[in-house]
Structure 1
Amino acid sequence: MINNFRKSDDYRASIHDLIPGGAHTYSKGDDQFPLLSPAAISHGKGSQVWDIDGNQYLDCSMGLTSVILGHAYEPVLKRVREELEKGVNFQRPSYIEREMAERFLANIPGHDMIKFAKNGSSVTTAATKLARAHTGRKLIAFPGDHPFYSYDDWFISQTPCNRGIPEETAALSVTYKSDDINSLRALFDKYPDQIACVISEPEKNFGLPEGYLSQAIDLAHQHGALYIVDEMITGYKTAFPGSFTKYKVKPDMATWGKGIANGFSFCALTGTKEVMELGGIRETGKEKVFLISTTHGGETHNIGAAIATIDVFEQNDVIGHNHRTGDMLIAACEKLVAAKGLNEYITVAPCNWMPVFIFRNSAKEICPGMRTLAMQEMIRRGVLFQGVFVPCFSHTSKDIEHFAEAFGQTLDVYSRALEDGYQQHLKGEPAKAVFRKYL
């Protein structure tokens, strides 16, 4: 049982004076974890991470889903070292940019061009800009019940955290219910000839209605809008390279990031030549679209990491391994939940590329307190758990056994908390939602 968080407590006590929110991603903040948890990570290797107190954990979230092969994965590091020795940023493009463009586009049927960036928000926002330039329309449509697309105003304006965003800006984004073709159709009817694009994740953890993605793309095109598939989460997880290739559909653009460089900072926007060329400089006399211009978007070591990740996927059955790992974990956890009579209180999404856990209280309501209690008890048993499990190529059957053992013991505490309340077992406050109106 892990109980020593002394250095983590010292870290927590000072970090908020230095960094707003205490981290550079709100999902990593102290308000997202139980009090009894590591405040900072020292290092990672494979499927394991160590905190600054020296505690070792099985990693479940894998860098917020960005580490798809494993921490410090040697074949990726080898290519990174090679590029570091040659310098990482130059006055003109590096040769490696063409290599990456050719390798990545070779796996994206129907997409002809690519643009690099350092984070997902940059490429999703660039995609919406291209859609507006292409269509001459203003409105951006996206599912209001999907968790995150960008830190830019077009998305954040539609969340509870909209302070600092003018109402005029917020009015340029409209939302619908995800995976509901009738909801999307109603949105087009409400805003005829006004929607520039629909941007949406291609699927979620609880599945996708049959034929939905193809129908949604066709519907957008019928109304003169472009369709952007956001593969940040699904890319290199649901399939290689992603869901839109698995479902054999052709969106106008797609955005990529997270796992495509095994944790290194590399993201991409791909699309058809007709749309992407709007951001080019070859069509003399046409009005210019200032697409993406990032000093660090072409850093060679990150591109090298992305190329090495493609190599691993093309030479190994990474998808098969990760899906088998997910299946193994789901089966083990469902068996434990059933054995302890907790089916009405805990749900494991049957999604082998990223199982998600839903925790309910005695009234069978989704409960942050019960979820945080489960996190606390898993962490005490050496599993850095935040309610999801992201299979990576370094996860082993022993890792799943470790998770299952910790989960079984956690369920015993959970059962007691259903009777006398999580407050009797949880140290500190429940984790809070990232998107909330008030602190």
Structure 2
Amino acid sequence: MPRGPMGGRRAVEEPHDFGKVMGKLVNYCRNYLPVIIIALILGAAGTVCQIIGPDKLKDMTNEIVKGLPAIVNGKPVMNSVDFGTVGHIAWTLVALYVGYAVLGYVQSWMMANVTQRTAQRLRESISVKINKLPLKYFDKVSYGDVLSRITNDVDAIGQTLGQSLGSLITSVTLFVGALVMMFYNNVIMTLCAIGASLIGLIIMMAIMKSSQKYFARQQMALGDVNGHVEEMYAGHLIVKAYNGEADSIRRFEKYNSDLYESGWKSQFLSGLMMPLMNFVGNFGYVVVCVVGAALALDGQIEFGVIVAFMMYIRLFTQPLSQFAQAFQNLQRCAAAAERVFGFLEEPEMEDESGKQALLGKNYMGGHEVKGDVEFSHVQFGYEPGKPIINDFSASVSAGQKVAIVGPTGAGKTTMVNLLMRFYE
């Protein structure tokens, strides 16, 4: 088992700097930025097709209403529906919705490809980084926590980044576009819809602020659980030999409890978004129908405007829930990215690839290496400020056989580690 304070519980991480972490992730993905921009433009274009649809449906409804029987001066008047115009509008609607579906599919395919390529590069970077880290890093971080960064955290980045980023852009387009079209059709009904949705927006922001810290704690707790389980299984014989089962179980239950607490809180707060926004959407739907009916009876709007608003209120409130879901996913992505980039930014061992080999007569001014080993007044500790070797000196001549003996903790392994330069 690795030496050092691996079993200690780390301090609870403060909420991460969302902007800084996402900036690092964007910089890491800079080679894919053109593809990402194209994908987002396609998604926005598809959303525009979706926004235009209800306005065309309004025109179709008005054409059909014109052909319905009417009462003029107390006498019924028969009208005819212009099926040519209705058919033209219907085919336009088909084209718009087909374009929306195709553009959305292309955007999803491109973003999925980019995010999985990014996850692949992250795994490759971690693989290279592991070979450059000094052993002292693994004294303070368990192997399982490192594995959690490679698996859980990288997967979280790959799974949520593409969906959330694309969803965020389409939601912004849908929100702004629906708002513009609603004002274009009727100002009074638009203001009523905004008032109904504003309540949900305030509650959503409050929930998002509370849930962010739990997502960061969840990723950290997941690393603790994985690290402890891997460590206990790898050192199972040592745990049994020193009767460490009770302590192992106690620590696991503590880590598992922390994961449970942060996990259910983050998921509970995240799960509140959809029911909340559904309620806001239904409330806005009722408000629009009541106000629209009053305006239609007063002759201020046509019947088709009500039909369009019944769809626009859905398109207007839908992005609010998508905003919430996208930001929740991006928070999870940022929490995972912070751990991954924290690993990639750890200090590395000194690069000695340019130094001469310790063999031959070209080393140390032409003198051949003999193999003498000397420790001269060495002071060393695995942790800063906690020395375990003080003023140690020893000399071993080439060809001399030396046995290193002593009780557990005397420093035998530490001497070999220093000799092999596993530690500086």
Task: Sort the TM-score into its range (normalised by shorter chain).
Answer: under 0.3
Q: In terms of Rg, which structure is larger?
A: 2
- Greater percentage in helix: 2
Q: TM-score, normalised by structure 2?
A: 0.20
Q: TM-score, normalised by structure 1?
A: 0.20
- Greater percentage in strand: 1
